[in-house]
Amino acid sequence: MAERYNPQEIEKKWQARWEADKLYNAEMDPSRPKHYALTMYPYPSGDLHIGHWYAMAPSDARARYMRMRGYNVMFPMGFDAFGLPAENAAIKRKIHPYSWTMANIERMRGQLRSMGAMFDWDREVVTCDPRYYKWNQWLFLRLYEAGLAYKTFAPVDWCPNCNTSLAREQVIGEDRRCERCGTLVIKKDLDQWLFRITNYADELLDFSGLDWPERVKVMQTNWIGRSEGAEVRFTTEAGYPIVVFTTRPDTLWGATFMVLAPEHPLVEKVTTPPQQAQVAAYQEQARRMSEIERQAKDKEKTGVFTGGFAINPVNGARIPIWIADYVLMSYGTGAIMAVPAHDQRDFEFARKYGLKIQVVIQGENTPANGEEMELAFDAEGVMINSGPFNGTPSAEGIRKVTAWLEEQGIGKFAVNYRLRDWLISRQRYWGTPIPMIYCPTCGALPVPDQDLPVVLPQDAEFLPTGESPLKYHLGFRYTTCPQCGGPAERDTDTMDTFVDSSWYQYAYITPYDPERLFEPAAGDYWLPVDQYTGGVEHATMHLLYTRFFTKAMRDLGLVKYDEPMLKLFNQGIILGEDNEKMSKSRGNVVDPDDLVSRYGADVVRMFLMFLSSWNQGGPWNSRGIEGITRFLGRVWELVLEPANPTAPAGYHSDQAVRDLRRVTHQTIQRVTRDLEDFGFNTTIAALMEFSNMLGRARSTPVVETPAWQEAIESLLLLLAPLAPHLSEELWHQTGRPYSVHQQPWPQVDNAAAVEDEITLVVQINGKVRDRIQVPAGIAEQEAKERALEAPGAHKMLDGKTPRQVIYVPGKLVNIVL
């Protein structure tokens, strides 16, 4: 009697052995195809939760599978170690963010090891290490030199709770909350560094060559928000130009007023003295609105007449200029031409303030008179009241009018994006110092490369004041000008942590390389990332930023690719047993450490993969995990318990061997296909079916044949990516050579996998009436004849002649009466 399956014992043993043997260390080997598998690195919060397991265990299984398929696999791991939680925890507990972070990392390393994943720990990077963030600074300087990093004074999004500015991407939802803490974000005027991601807007819209989920591509496309149209120059009566952006140049003749954003610089110039007080009051109110709350649901449009007029350049019409907060300074030119007949927002505004509504697009059933309209007509139609363009279909009109505007010199084709440049300055301590120096005589200067890294001082006072903590660290702040040697000051902001993660996949190539970002020869071999996995929540943040970085790095000559990650897979989310999001307050959190000590890592890994399809996630089930324990227990016995075979009645050895080999090779087929597509749940189902079959075969003399050995060996190999410890132990105990993880993936014997007899379904009018066993290669004519004779069908036929008999080879015969 062999020992029972005891995961605790074998898992620790093999983890130690694998680590000692450096089994998973990736070495460059040009003779083999490489596979760079990457899973999003964790923030070192201090505890590995089930979500981390759900993200990492299946991606580990996939990486292991690729390795057995003959790829030289690199599967690194690291820590996204800068960021606010460390700072907040440090303030609360009065310990240094560095100590807090490092202690957490230490703890999480141990937890990650308990997973039995094939992480190459020799490549680990920790982003708060100066050896890492030195290259953040170096990249910043390269972007600066290339004109892709710039500083500007502008109103920015500010989280009053986190006490820092945020990138547009980190402001969530209609009511504009902080992505981190959910606080309502306000506007603040600050001098900040930005990365010119908008330079790459068009290229970022091109996903060709990327095998990414449709969902992510759509989210990025929407986020970038490209729209084509025209810029048209209107002129105020006093002669100031007002440039507007419109997607509907075909409606230019219907522009009956203009609207400027309240903060538009021209407002002061166009406002007439009698309107001054009202305009100023509205501007003030709009300012407060954006600062206080913007939650009001039914935002009724408001605005104020400036007293000024503009001339519509296409027809010379004199139209009033208003200001209104539905026009945003941050989009387009901050000014619009209002065409109330054909734009619902302008329509509502015109109705409210009694402005003229001029119809210029005629639809099938739309009134030609603006007074009779109930809604703006924004569909396609034919241009009317539009001078030389009368009778032109609107779609064609958009092109023709744009060309005409260019000829007349009053406008041009233009593209606008919703995407804003990436604001990277943060007014917090725990991040990468921005490597810039401000000299009163020489101006803003980059820190020379040889002075990198600009080290984050350990002894800064980092209590949040709304200003950068580094500002109060005089030793850091005051320095000398690298140009004139005179007194100068450093930039005291730190970088958004998304800068760290924008290039971390490159850092793993030659981690903490003191000389360069990474070694080019190694980069040529390993890059780009072949398979990236992680949550979809980063669709318009990290995943957009890292694409931008790669494109910018390509233009700097640092990488040779347009895209950082060729394939992307988004795993779902594990919910609590109550089908709700796991949270401490709900008390529905499951702790992986507990589970590992109770069931073992292999069981936890496999249960997470078995729950549902990986991209779907789903509720935890504390009973369901027992099913995996039973399954692995049965595998254990199947492999190790001596069998005591007896031949059942009618046993034929040849047939039994054929049946066994068929199931073995069909299982190899199924598992291979499913693992290719991340179908872990169906992979496991196939292995369960296989082992159930083996369980039945075990009591027969087939166990004494080589086919049985082949079946057991295949089972262990197919199981190896999913349950690495158990497979290794059984591989070892059955006297096979170390390590199961260095074995090639089993080969399918197609001939053995073929069925020699199939079940043919016999239908009458599409309903199943019988099933017959026939040889797999049966001819159509014979199949039909046998079907007609099948008892279930014969009875229903009752002597009638079928109108039609349909044969689907290998599947069914449908007799139509």
Partner RNA sequence: GCCGGGGUGGCGGAAUUGGCAGACGCGCUCGCCUCAAAAGUGAGUGAGGGCAACCUCAUGUGGGUUCAAGUCCCACCCUCGGCACCA
Interface positions, 782-801, toward RNA (CB under 7 A): 792, 796
Give the residue with the Cβ less far from RNA, 135 or 607: 607
298 binds RNA (CB under 7 A): no
Q: How far is the CB of 211 from RNA (least distance, A)?
A: 16
Q: How far is the CB of 698 from RNA (least distance, A)?
A: 10
**Do the Cβ atoms of 505 and 38 come closer than 8 Å?**
yes
Q: How far is the CB of 725 from RNA (least distance, A)?
A: 19
- According to CB under 7 A, which residues from 325 to 384 bind RNA? 325-334, 336-337, 343, 345
Pick the binder of RNA from 238, 647, 754, 816 (CB under 7 A): 816
Sheet with 757-764: strands ordered across: 767-775, 757-764, 812-816, 804-808
Q: How far is the CB of 764 from RNA (least distance, A)?
A: 8
Pick the binder of RNA from 186, 311, 688, 788 (CB under 7 A): 688
12-20, 212-220, 553-561, 741-749 -> range binding RNA (CB under 7 A)? 212-220
Give the residue with the Cβ less far from RNA, 22 or 811: 811
- According to CB under 7 A, which residues from 256 to 285 bind RNA? 261
- Direct distance between the N- and C-terminal alpha carbons of the chain, in angstroms, rounded to an integer: 62
For 754, other C-beta atoms within 10 Å of its C-beta total 12
318 binds RNA (CB under 7 A): no
288 binds RNA (CB under 7 A): no
**Cα torsion for 88, 89, 93, 95, to the nearest 10°?**
-90
Shortest CA distance to 228 belongs to which of 256, 208, 209, 205?
Answer: 205
484 binds RNA (CB under 7 A): no
Region class of 597: left (phi > 0), else alpha (psi between -120 and 50), else beta: alpha
Q: How far is the CB of 730 from RNA (least distance, A)?
A: 16
Pick the binder of RNA from 524, 594, 626, 785 (CB under 7 A): 626
88 binds RNA (CB under 7 A): no
The beta-strand segments (E) located in 283-420 are: 303-311, 318-324, 335-338, 361-362, 382-383, 411-416
Q: How far is the CB of 261 from RNA (least distance, A)?
A: 6
For 805, other C-beta atoms within 10 Å of its C-beta total 15
Q: How far is the CB of 150 from RNA (least distance, A)?
A: 21
Give the residue with the Cβ less far from RNA, 566 or 805: 805
Q: How far is the CB of 176 from RNA (least distance, A)?
A: 8
Distance CA 38, CA 577 (A): 29
Pick the binder of RNA from 58, 78, 97, 229 (CB under 7 A): 229
102-110, 197-205, 402-410, 625-633 -> range binding RNA (CB under 7 A)? 625-633
- According to CB under 7 A, which residues from 512 to 551 bind RNA? 536, 540
Please count the residues of this chain forming the interface with RNA, following the rule CB under 7 A. Answer: 83
Q: In this structure, what token pair is assigned to residue 242?
A: 């007002």
Q: How far is the CB of 121 from RNA (least distance, A)?
A: 33
Give the residue with the Cβ less far from RNA, 524 or 578: 578
- According to CB under 7 A, which residues from 668 to 687 bind RNA? 673, 679, 681-682, 684-685
List Cα–Cα distances, 337 to 119, 310, 312, 332, 552, in angstroms.
58, 10, 9, 12, 36
Q: How far is the CB of 760 from RNA (least distance, A)?
A: 8
Distance CA 45, CA 105 (A): 8
Q: How far is the CB of 215 from RNA (least distance, A)?
A: 4
Query: What are the start-end ranges of the H helices in 641-679?
Result: 653-676
246 binds RNA (CB under 7 A): yes
Q: Specify the residue for token string 């027969």.
A: 700
Give the residue with the Cβ less far from RNA, 215 or 560: 215
Pick the binder of RNA from 164, 290, 416, 492 (CB under 7 A): 416
Report helix angle 680-697 to 653-676, nearest 10.
170
**Do the Cβ atoms of 341 and 377 come closer than 8 Å?**
yes
Pick the binder of RNA from 227, 275, 278, 285 (CB under 7 A): 227
Give the residue with the Cβ less far from RNA, 613 or 705: 613
Pick the binder of RNA from 35, 134, 248, 551 (CB under 7 A): 248
Q: How far is the CB of 715 from RNA (least distance, A)?
A: 14
Give the residue with the Cβ less far from RNA, 368 or 806: 806
633 binds RNA (CB under 7 A): yes
Give the residue with the Cβ less far from RNA, 398 or 452: 398
Taken in order 220, 222, 223, 225, the sign of the CA dihedral is: positive
Report the residue count for the chain.
817
Pick the binder of RNA from 391, 466, 766, 775 (CB under 7 A): 766
569 binds RNA (CB under 7 A): no
**Do the Cβ atoms of 652 and 707 come closer than 8 Å?**
no
Pick the binder of RNA from 30, 33, 182, 225 (CB under 7 A): 225
Distance CA 575, CA 588 (A): 8
Q: How far is the CB of 762 from RNA (least distance, A)?
A: 10
Give the residue with the Cβ less far from RNA, 47 or 689: 689
429-437, 515-523, 721-729, 765-773 -> range binding RNA (CB under 7 A)? 765-773
> Read out DSSP for 669-734?
HHHHHHHHTT-HHHHHHHHHHHHHHHHHHTTSGGGGSHHHHHHHHHHHHHHTTTSHHHHHHHHHHT
Q: How far is the CB of 623 from RNA (least distance, A)?
A: 4
Distance CA 355, CA 371 (A): 10
Q: How far is the CB of 530 from RNA (least distance, A)?
A: 22
Distance CA 574, CA 605 (A): 13
- According to CB under 7 A, which residues from 440 to 469 bind RNA? none
Report helix angle 592-599 to 50-68, nearest 10.
60
Q: How far is the CB of 348 from RNA (least distance, A)?
A: 7
Q: How far is the CB of 301 from RNA (least distance, A)?
A: 5
Distance CA 160, CA 792 (A): 76
- According to CB under 7 A, which residues from 702 to 761 bind RNA? 759, 761
Give Cα 482 to chain centroid, integer Å: 41
Give the residue with the Cβ less far from RNA, 118 or 793: 793
496 binds RNA (CB under 7 A): no
- According to CB under 7 A, which residues from 152 to 191 bind RNA? 172-174
Pick the binder of RNA from 8, 152, 222, 742 (CB under 7 A): 222
At a CB cut-off of 8 Å and minimum separation 6, what does 307 contact? 270, 271, 272, 273, 274, 275
Q: How far is the CB of 786 from RNA (least distance, A)?
A: 16
Shortest CA distance to 53 belongs to which of 126, 116, 123, 120?
Answer: 116
* Tally of CA atoms within 13 A in the half-sphere of 579 that contains its CB: 0
The 3-state DSSP class for residue 474 equals helix
Residue 508, burial from CB neighbour count under 10 angstroms (0-12, 13-18, 19+): buried
Give the residue with the Cβ less far from RNA, 247 or 479: 247
247 binds RNA (CB under 7 A): yes
Shortest CA distance to 326 belongs to which of 294, 354, 357, 292?
Answer: 294
At a CB cut-off of 8 Å and minimum separation 6, what does 457 contact? 470, 473, 475, 476
771 binds RNA (CB under 7 A): yes
Residue 190, burial from CB neighbour count under 10 angstroms (0-12, 13-18, 19+): middle
Give the residue with the Cβ less far from RNA, 276 or 765: 765
Give the residue with the Cβ less far from RNA, 152 or 692: 692
112 binds RNA (CB under 7 A): no
